[in-house]
A and B are shown apart, each in its own frame.
Chain A
């Protein structure tokens, strides 16, 4: 019986496989105490939330302070899961392209961080962080001498003007909208592009009453209301300089001309990007960037799981590798933590995002229902789905730890004391609610993560007596679907992070009633006159007074309006190779500080 013996062999193979599996799983897991570690994170984040200061001319002149122990040479490998969507600075709003832009492009101003994590705004192309006059309505910038692009052309105020003007062109649509809308003012509030439909390419320029360039070195912005945050806005990658002579319109997205310490040698979309030194970059003019390594070698299409495994193994080229925006894969976090030599190579901190369960205020009109849900949700189980303690922290309010004005102790719904939900309190609130209002429709992205969140939300809300109807939404168009004004859902999980360290970049887009429209991040459709008034007030105030107004706005929103239940703060947990020096968490990017890196042995 030949067939029988081969069956027996099969059985043996199965038994061996099963046995080896059993052996590996047979040690007791007593649990590790990670509570202390996560408390430490919170303390570190308080540095991040300090208000930004504005540097003067002395603080804006280069060269940048040397990184301790730094030396030159070598090439850093950078891993990233998905390809970059844009390289054109005007189109850069997402953090992966933003990180690359930090190496490639210079702006009028830039963020400068010291070793303690204090952030200031320094002049980049400008000699300082800008001179404000007329109560914040007028800003004047003077350009530094001897700044050239990678082709050797000197950058003048005309290039700055061109950079601003091209933001109005049709082919720039993915970048940050701040500067354009501010320049357009109330007159063109509906469509800022009407201010300059040609984008400066047809010979027409912005009127001098908006943007003035009296000489080659001076740029003056005029706004119709005070814009005290302008230096921080201009420090965004989206407003990096595009020299007039180099601009190739749509094609610029594939082959931009560098102004920073590195330039593009070759770029294969979605596969690789090789950066080499830009010899026309003068370190004496730059107070932040370094040029330690000879180049960067970006590899796209490497999954987070593979990145993590390679960096843990730390072999060969991977010793010189970093992760761009990806982090350690959630399931492998404990492999990193439990191995001290690997754990030493971690860069971690908070991401700027607050994940919240947003209520559709057009549908969930009863404040008591919203309060009951806020009491009932189980933040801990949601965080468990993100990778546990290192994946996120319970959020008691709407301000992330990275935001100036963050209050760790402000917790009106007792989220910190009962992260798993205050069932008794929620039930009590629900007593007087009719059954018809207890039916809530929850929309979730139909992905693996989305389904996990669904389980957690359903579980928590059903327990206090809600009738949860879960609707799956296609994961790729999730934000588009919940962004529709007339969406049929009652609540959905959404996240938002600051664009620069000011609550203005959180409260304004997410809670301003005038911004309620299809696709706007005001997913809860809050239209509260008091909130709108507070936002308007804070935006025209100086940072210290503004901070008080923002605080008032948040407290009012949390206690009286409650457009969303805060769920958790997301965390960043990145790994770099053992030969990479100077790795630190960048407070502004919330990622590894890519301008600060060198190789220990090249």
Chain B
């Protein structure tokens, strides 16, 4: 979908001066004041993109909320583990009817339960949501970053060096691609648990998180590697790379200074797609019983549970759902904007 960053007429503009004008990015079409680094240019363009800025604020807000979950629940005075509908301590303030559905307006919205309560158990949706965001966002972020870094490194090596290196990296990529990720996980998790965890001890949550992180990482970097490899492959033959080679630059320098800046765009776009889909994968895993288990709050599971009550208690899915939709939308739009800012020619 993304073409190599630069279209035409973009040879290495000048000799390879260290910082300022070194990048082959289209610096010339900008104002002719004195030199700005591509980073500065990008920042300038980005600031002008209203959607981009709003989305950035939204995305940052989500991460802040996720980070500040314990503070926020302190404010609301609820926590994600108490069964407000079933706990005898809260018997005087019933939140559920006999069918286990929330009493009152809009899924039991009230001063104590800001987003209402969950059917059946009556847990506080606000607390579950902010804590769930915490689990899901940071897990997804960790997995995605690991996947990206691995994919970029292997893609760069394969694409730049070509030949036998490329062949073997390509075969390894194929090999990993052949693994059905989710099936593998379902088969793999109980074995690992049985191996590392005493049968009379509870499987610790960090253990589950680590296992998920590793497996999703090991089985998830291939797409990125292939994308980067193909981009690098075409860049390698370009004049500015040739020129750098001729002028005696080391491969490390060429990769770092000439090629990497040009693959930033596809990387960013890929990143903005992968992160939300990783959230959903993690949600699926906890559904298949190999990810996080109840009562560890999980955004994806909250959403999936909500969908079951879509007819009887639509408000249950409302807050987690709207939060998820806004997040995914904002994240994708942010990615688009950042790409536009880096490379104003693409996507128009």
Contact = CB atoms under 8 A, between A and B. Distances in A.
A525 B311 CA distance: 45
Interface residues of A, number: 58
Contact of A384 (B120, B321, B322): B120
Given A420-B86, A421-B88, A423-B88, A25 B314 contact: yes
Interface stretch (B14-22, B102-110, B213-221, B255-263): B102-110
B105 A459 contact: no
Contacts of B105: 26-29
Nearest to A380: B86
Nearest to B305: A448
Interface in A375-392: 378, 380-381, 384-385, 387-390
A31 B201 CA distance: 41
Interface stretch (B91-99, B133-141, B245-253): B91-99
Max count, chain B CB within 10 A of own CB: residue among A30, A378, A421, A451: A451
B345 to A, nearest CB: 14
A380 B333 CA distance: 46
A225 interface: no
A18 B98 contact: no
B304 to A, nearest CB: 9
Given A31-B98, A331-B308, A454 B294 contact: yes
A3 interface: yes
B206 to A, nearest CB: 16
B212 interface: no
B273 interface: no
Interface stretch (A155-163, A249-257, A276-284, A467-475): A467-475
Interface in B154-182: none
A335 B88 contact: no
Given A26-B106, A456-B86, A334 B101 contact: yes
B313 interface: yes
Nearest to B94: A31
B297 to A, nearest CB: 11
A475 B85 contact: no
B294 A455 contact: yes
B203 interface: yes
Contacts of A35: 98
Interface in B279-313: 287, 289, 293-295, 308-309, 311-313
A432 interface: no
A50 to B, nearest CB: 29
Nearest to B105: A28
B99 A32 contact: yes
A380 B98 CA distance: 11
B202 A21 contact: no
A465 B193 CA distance: 27
Contact of A7 (B51, B99, B102): B51
A421 B119 CA distance: 20
B336 interface: yes
A25 B121 contact: no
Interface residues of B, number: 53
A548 to B, nearest CB: 37
A278 to B, nearest CB: 42
Looking at chain B's contact residues, the main secondary structure is loop
Nearest to B347: A3
Which of B98, B311, B329 is packed against the most chain A CB atoms within 10 Å?
Answer: B98
B201 to A, nearest CB: 6
Interface string A1-15: 001100100100010
Contact of B98 (A389, A448, A458, A471): A389
B85 A384 contact: yes
Contacts of B101: 29, 334
A21 B51 contact: no
Contacts of B108: 29
Contacts of B203: 471-472
Interface string B51-78: 1000000000000000000000000000
A470 B200 CA distance: 9
Interface in B306-348: 308-309, 311-315, 317-318, 321-322, 325-326, 329, 333, 336, 347
Contacts of A3: 336, 347
Given A10-B329, A25-B318, A380-B86, A452 B98 contact: no
Interface string A363-401: 000000000000000101100110111100000000000
B342 to A, nearest CB: 16
A488 interface: yes
A456 B88 CA distance: 12
A536 B210 CA distance: 54
A451 B87 contact: no
B199 A28 contact: no
A3 B336 CA distance: 10
A331 B322 CA distance: 22
B190 interface: yes
B100 interface: yes
A29 B200 contact: no
A335 B289 contact: no
A259 to B, nearest CB: 43
A455 B295 contact: yes
B329 A14 contact: yes
A472 B289 contact: yes
Contacts of B322: 18
Interface in A427-472: 441, 446-448, 451-452, 454-456, 458-459, 469-472
A28 B199 CA distance: 47
B254 interface: no
A441 B103 CA distance: 35
Contacts of A446: 289, 293
B49 to A, nearest CB: 9
B83 interface: yes
Contacts of A421: 88
A390 B101 CA distance: 13
Given A331-B312, A455-B294, A455-B295, A388 B86 contact: no
A339 interface: no
Given A7-B51, A333-B99, A456-B83, A472 B88 contact: no
Given A331-B309, A423-B88, A451 B293 contact: yes
Contacts of A388: 98-100, 120
A387 B100 contact: yes
A56 B85 CA distance: 54
B328 to A, nearest CB: 11
Nearest to A418: B88
A488 B83 contact: no
Given A3-B347, A31-B98, A454-B293, A25 B86 contact: no
Contacts of A331: 119, 308-309, 311-312
Contacts of B103: 29-31
A471 B326 CA distance: 36
13 contacts: A21-B315, A21-B318, A25-B315, A29-B102, A29-B105, A334-B312, A381-B121, A388-B98, A388-B120, A447-B289, A451-B294, A452-B120, A472-B293
Given A331-B308, A423-B88, A456-B121, 14 more contacts: A4-B51, A7-B333, A10-B329, A14-B329, A21-B315, A25-B314, A29-B105, A332-B312, A334-B312, A384-B100, A421-B88, A447-B289, A456-B83, A471-B202
Closest 4 CB pairs of A and B: A381-B86, A31-B97, A446-B289, A25-B315
Interface of B: 51, 81, 83, 85-88, 91, 94, 96-108, 119-121, 190, 199-203, 287, 289, 293-295, 308-309, 311-315, 317-318, 321-322, 325-326, 329, 333, 336, 347
